[in-house]
C-alpha cells in the first residue's frame, strides 16, 4: 500500500500536526460508543504501557488484556470487543495460526497485529495471514491508537503502520 503523508491521512477536522487537541486530535461524538479493544500482549510491562496508551484516548476502552495466546479466544468471547490488538510473539500458541483461523478477525472483528519486526515484507505477511493492520511495537506510541481507529473506518492510517482497511 502506498504510504500517505500526515496531511493526507489526517481525519476530517484535524490538522496534519495532530489535530483537534489532546489525545491525538480525536473528538468523540456523543452518539458514538468507545471502541472496545482486547489487548493481547505477552509482556507485562509492554501490556501495561500499551493499555495506558490506549485508555488515555477518549474514544478507546480496553475491555480485556490476556497475557497468553491460549487465553485470547475466551477473552474475545467474554468481552465482545470491536478490535483485537494481537502481539504476534505471544506465548501459548502460534499467533499466525490464530490469524489464519480467524479469517481476518473473529467474525467481523478486525485484528491489529503488533510485532517487533519492522519490515514491509513482514507487515504484508501479517496482513496476508488475516491481520487488518500491522504496527511495529517500537512505533506503537504514535501509531497504535490510529490503527485501532483505522481498522474500523474511524480514521485514516498514516506513518509506518501498514494496513488493509
The rounded distance, in Å, linking the Cα atoms of 125 and 131 is 9
More confident residue, 27 or 70: 70
pLDDT of residue 19: 33
In a domain, 74, yes or no: yes
If you average pLDDT over every residue of the chain, what do you get? Answer: 74
In a domain, 99, yes or no: yes
Structural domains in the chain (count): 1
In a domain, 81, yes or no: yes
pLDDT of residue 163: 46
Check if the beta carbon of residue 144 is closer than 8 Å to that of residue 55: no
Distances (CA, A) of 50 to 5, 8, 76, 98, 126: 25, 26, 18, 21, 20
Check if the beta carbon of residue 112 is closer than 8 Å to that of residue 148: yes
More confident residue, 128 or 4: 128
pLDDT tens digits, 65-83: 999 888 988 998 899 999 9
Q: Which range marks the domain in which residue 39 is found?
A: 34-163
Q: Domain containing 148 — which CATH number?
A: 3.40.50.2300
Check if the beta carbon of residue 115 is closer than 8 Å to that of residue 161: no
In a domain, 3, yes or no: no
pLDDT tens digits, 126-141: 888 788 888 998 889 8
Q: Could you tell me the pLDDT band of residue 23, with boundaries at 50, 70 and 90? A: very low
Average pLDDT of span 104-111: 67
Q: Is the pLDDT of residue 146 over 80?
A: yes
In a domain, 17, yes or no: no
Report residue 119 as a C-alpha cell.
519490515
The rounded distance, in Å, linking the Cα atoms of 5 and 139 is 16
In a domain, 90, yes or no: yes
Amino acid at each position: 500500500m502506498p504510504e500517505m503523508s500526515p496531511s493526507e491521512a489526517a481525519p476530517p477536522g484535524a490538522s496534519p500536526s495532530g489535530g483537534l487537541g489532546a489525545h491525538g486530535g480525536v473528538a468523540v461524538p456523543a452518539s458514538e460508543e468507545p471502541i472496545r479493544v482486547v489487548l493481547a500482549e505477552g509482556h507485562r510491562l509492554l501490556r501495561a504501557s500499551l493499555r495506558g496508551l490506549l485508555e488515555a484516548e477518549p474514544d478507546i476502552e480496553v475491555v480485556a488484556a490476556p497475557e497468553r495466546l491460549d487465553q485470547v479466544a475466551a477473552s474475545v468471547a467474554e468481552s465482545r470487543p470491536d478490535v483485537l490488538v494481537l502481539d504476534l510473539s505471544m506465548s501459548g500458541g502460534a499467533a499466525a495460526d490464530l490469524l489464519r483461523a480467524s479469517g481476518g478477525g473473529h467474525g467481523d472483528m478486525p485484528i491489529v497485529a503488533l510485532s517487533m519486526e519492522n519490515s514491509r515484507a513482514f507487515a504484508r505477511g501479517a496482513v496476508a495471514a488475516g491481520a487488518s493492520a500491522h504496527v511495529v511495537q517500537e512505533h506503537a506510541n504514535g501509531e497504535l491508537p490510529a490503527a485501532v481507529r483505522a481498522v474500523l473506518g474511524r480514521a485514516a492510517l498514516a506513518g509506518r503502520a501498514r494496513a488493509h482497511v
